[in-house]
Chains A and B, each alone.
Chain A
């Protein structure tokens, strides 16, 4: 049976993070296509380039030069064509303010970057296997911040 790969997009300015992220998906036994951008400006250009396939899942770092994750989140949510795009906040810190604000702005899940590679793999596996439509309907603040 042919399964269409899951399209994943990561917006992160840290090269190491992008590398580790990619490594993790390579080791996960799920067919994925991972694309990466380096900041918010690149992200918005990428998404709005005609003919680009809209990814299933966007991993969004909050702290980026030029244009930050929060700004991108607000812009994306304003555009109707991205209403089905699931957004996972992927950040080093998980301060109460950031979690609260991204939740209000319509992000689907908040992931605090783990410091263990195996843990990262577990989290990413869980995130890409979530049925987003189902998850979103029952979403509340307690399950928003993903804990493993």
Chain B
């Protein structure tokens, strides 16, 4: 798992935690509300019972008053009036209590009616008492008053019963409302709780899983860093990183080893490092350091260090700026011990210098061949031409024969020197490569040989050739030499046919021919129906001055094909030959596309 996935995992965990927390808070709030409404409901039940009890008490006080009055009527003893007056007071108290208790408008109205009824009842009781106090007592009037009193009492009883019933109905209403409101709460809370629980379980599982991945990642990291350390030791390089903001530098263990010092044996800073740098190269390193401070890039630098054991080693520093997650610029770099490469390079340079020297010698040989050798030859030729002018008349036949033979030899020598010159010229390095149309170069070569081709009635067929990056005059020379070769070694009794073909080489063929490089190659073949040669001479014929025939059979210098080989080698190509004695020869040129 990469760090990004781990990062998103921790993000998910945070979300899960937050959701669970919210759910728990919600459950707490719900439970609180639920218990509050439960208390509320209990209070209302209490209230109803209190009201009803108060009403019953009120009625019972009334009855007390009535009973007291009745006792007075029978006994005329004022002792019985005592409970009557107490009851009256009690009724009033009870009434005030009820007024406080009753909240609903409907019940309040009922209470008002009850008040009026009770008042009327007490007035009637007063009326009855007043009748009793008149002497003689008007019994019929008392009777009537008592009846009216009873009637009031009945009405009050009914009314109280009504109020009781109403209060009970209120209670029922509230009870059902409460039940309605709170019936789903426990289930809901339970579900939420289960949800939160499952969330916690999931989080636990996830954290566990991430921990395992973290452990694995840590293990991988450990292996990576170990293999990195080994790689540094094997490859003789070290790594460092430099926080440009805090100016903190860290060296890998191998940095110390490369300096011949035990790992982490000194504090990794610039001052300590530069003490190891060769005094002559210290400016290079400190300039690089200053450069990095001002431009955030450390230039690639080569410098020498002196190890603790005194050995001088060549170092190369490469680096790259890598800003971290928080945008801090961190330079990450490596120091390589390139001493071996450096020494090899020095040896190569020396050898190169030697080669250049040799090349110069060759060039002066070229000059010697072109001038100093040609000069005496020319003088000899000129004198011979003088001899063959007037002087020839005075010579014997034998003398004339000798002169003729000298002339032939001198001519061959001239041809040889010219060919040698041509060969050495193909060695020149300063020749310029350019994209050239090989068809055009072939056409030019045919033009060069037009006279011979015409004379020998040779037929040359060719396919479309590609455009390649070549040294034009050399490739033209190559065609000229190969066609010239075919013309020279034609069969005397058969018309000469030269076929030039071209194809792109397959990867397998290219591999078989050991043609390196990444690019493709073209295979150009020049085939003839001439006298051919024995296949075992196929390599031999490309060597300088190597010939398969005597001068009296075929003229030649043994340089033409050597030049061909040189030219193809100049183009990083390959030339091979196939001979079939009496049937013909094929030359194959492989040139990079």
B371 at the interface (CB under 8 A from A): yes
- CB contacts (< 8 Å) of B375 on chain A: these are 14, 92
A residues in contact with B370, CB < 8 Å: 93, 95
Cβ–Cβ < 8 Å partners of A93 in chain B: 370-371, 374
Among B371, B374, B377, B381, point to the contact of A116 (Cβ < 8 A): B381
Q: Given that A115-B377, A115-B414 are known contacts, is A63 also in contact with B382, CB under 8 Å in the complex? A: no
Which residues of chain B from 339 to 371 have any CB-CB distance to chain A below 8 Å in the complex? 370-371
Bound Cα distance from A95 to B385, whole angstroms: 25
A117 touches B386 (CB 8 A): yes
Which residues A77-118 have CB closer than 8 A to chain B? Answer: 92-93, 95, 113-118
Query: B384-422 interface mask toward A, CB cutoff 8 Å, 1 = contact, 0 = none?
Result: 011001000000000000000000000000100000000
The residue from A63, A92, A95 contacting B378, defined by CB atoms under 8 A apart: A92
Contact across chains for B374 and A92 when beta carbons are under 8 A apart: yes
Interchain CB contact (< 8 A) of B385 among A14, A63, A92, A118: A118
B275 to chain A, nearest CB (A): 56
Nearest chain A CB to B277's CB is how many angstroms away? 49
Distance in Å: Cβ of A49 to nearest Cβ of chain B: 29
B74 adjacent to chain A (CB < 8 Å): no
Q: How distant is the Cα of A14 from the Cα of B383 in the complex, in angstroms?
A: 14
Q: For the complex, what is the distance from the CA of A3 to the CA of B377, rounded to whole Å?
A: 38
A17 on interface, CB distance cutoff 8 Å: yes
Q: With A and B bound together, what is the CA distance between A92 and B369 in angstroms?
A: 11
Contact A115 B389 (CB under 8 A): no
Q: Would A20 and B382 count as touching, CB distance under 8 A?
A: yes
At the interface, yes or no: A147 with Cβ under 8 Å from chain B?
Answer: no
Instruction: Indicate whether B379 reaches chain A with its CB closer than 8 angstroms.
Output: yes
Tell me whether A17 and B379 are in contact in the complex, defined as CB-CB below 8 angstroms, given that A92-B374, A115-B414 are known contacts. yes
| Cβ–Cβ contact B379 & A16, under 8 A | yes
**Residue among B370, B386, B414 with most chain A CB within 10 A:** B386
A72 sits at the interface (CB 8 A): no
Structural contact, B382 and A92, CB atoms closer than 8 A: no
Q: With A20-B382, A115-B378, A117-B382 known to touch, is A63 a contact of B389 (CB < 8 Å)? A: no
Chain A CB within 10 A, most for which of B375, B377, B389: B375
Q: Is A70 an interface residue (CB 8 A)?
A: no
In the docked arrangement, what's the CA distance between A120 and B383, Å? 12
Given the complex of chains A and B, what is the CA–CA distance between A116 and B389 in angstroms? 10
Q: Which residues of B contact A118 (CB under 8 A)?
A: 385, 389
List, in ascending order, chain B residues with CB within 8 A of A116's CB. Answer: 381-382, 385
Closest to A63 in B: B371
Please indicate the chain A residues that have their CB under 8 angstroms from the CB of B381 in the complex: 115-116
Q: Say whether chain A's binding surface is mostly helix, strand, loop, or mixed.
A: loop
Digit string of A113-130 for contact with B (CB within 8 Å is 1, else 0)? 111111010000000000
Which residue, A23, A92, A115, A118, has most C-beta atoms of chain B within 10 A?
A115
Are A14 and B379 also in contact (CB < 8 A) when A92-B371, A95-B370 are? Answer: yes
Q: Are B371 and A115 in contact (CB under 8 A)?
A: no
Chain B contacts for A113, CB-based, 8 A:
378
Q: How far is the CB of A94 from chain B (nearest CB, A)?
A: 10
Chain B CB within 10 A, most for which of A92, A95, A114, A120: A92
Report yes or no: A120 in contact with B382, Cβ–Cβ below 8 A: yes
Kindly list chain A residues whose C-beta atoms are within 8 Å of the C-beta of B377: 115
- Measured CA separation A117–B382 after assembly (Å): 5
Residues of chain B contacted by A16 (CB below 8 angstroms): 379, 382-383
Please give me the residue from chain A that is nearest to B380 by CB atom: A115
Kindly list chain A residues whose C-beta atoms are within 8 Å of the C-beta of B371.
63, 92-93
- Once the chains are docked, how many angstroms separate the CA of A77 from the CA of B371? 26
Kindly list chain B residues whose C-beta atoms are within 8 Å of the C-beta of A115. 377-378, 381-382, 385, 414
What is the minimal beta-carbon distance from A43 to any residue of chain B, in angstroms? 19
The complex places the Cα of A95 from the Cα of B383 at a distance, in Å, of 24
Question: Across the interface, which residues of B come within 8 angstroms of A17, CB to CB?
Answer: 379
Assembly CA distance A136 to B323 (angstroms): 73
Decide if A117 touches B385 in the complex (CB within 8 Å): yes
Q: What residues of chain B lie closer than 8 Å to A120, measured between beta carbons? A: 382
Contacts of A20 in B (CB 8 A): 379, 382-383, 386
Bound complex: CA A16 to CA B383 (Å): 9
A107 to B371, CA, bound (A): 20
Smallest CB separation, B144 vs chain A (Å)? 167
Cα of A35 to Cα of B414 in the assembled complex, Å: 31
| B389→A117 contact, CB < 8 A | yes
CB neighbours (8 Å) of B389 from chain A are 117-118
What residue in chain B is nearest A118 (Cβ atoms)?
B385
**Closest CB in chain A relative to B430 CB, distance in Å:** 12
- Shortest beta-carbon distance, B592 to chain A, in Å? 28
How many Å lie between the Cα of A135 and that of B542 in the bound state? 47
Of chain A, the residue at the smallest CB distance from B378 is: A115
Name the interface residues of A1-41: CB closer than 8 Å to any CB of B: 14, 16-17, 20, 23
Cα distance, A114 to B389, chains bound together (Å): 16
State the 7 A-B residue pairs at the shortest beta-carbon distance, nearest first: A115-B381, A117-B385, A115-B378, A116-B385, A16-B379, A117-B386, A92-B375
A-B contact pairs, 14 of them (CB 8 A): A14-B375, A16-B383, A20-B379, A23-B386, A63-B371, A113-B378, A114-B378, A115-B377, A115-B378, A115-B414, A117-B382, A117-B386, A118-B389, A120-B382
